[in-house]
Amino acid sequence: MEQYPFTLWVQSVSGGERTDEGVPVQGNITYTQVSKCREETRSANRQVYIGGQAHNFTSFILCPLGCPKIEEGTTVQMRDGNTVLLEKDVIMFREKQLHCRIWV
């Protein structure tokens, strides 16, 4: 069994503008592969505390050390080949001793 069987992709948006009337126009959305990963779900204690505030999460993604830091609020995808298994916004990113952990 492979330790990190899936790939982690990070969303970026470029070129968002406004029309002459001031209406926002969505930019181009692209995804970039940044790491291998796996998911762990939690059935109990689905909260993480950031700055004293509780945030609910559905699962967390584990990546090997060396995964670039992903900012809170960034949309990520976990993929198995071309199949998107999970698409969520990052709640918190932490680098631990053995791996990186991303709460989504």
β-strand partners of 56: 47
Question: DSSP string of 78-97?
Answer: EEETTEEEEEEE-SEEEE-S
Q: What is the pLDDT of residues 18-66, one digit of tens each?
A: 777 777 777 788 999 999 999 987 655 677 777 777 777 788 899 999 9
Whole-prediction pTM value? 0.81
Question: DSSP string of 62-77?
Answer: EEETTPPP--TT-EEE
Q: What is the pLDDT of residues 80-95, one digit of tens each?
A: 999 999 999 998 899 9
What percent of the chain has a predicted confidence (pLDDT) above 90?
54
CA–CA distance, 71 with 93 (Å, rounded to integer): 7
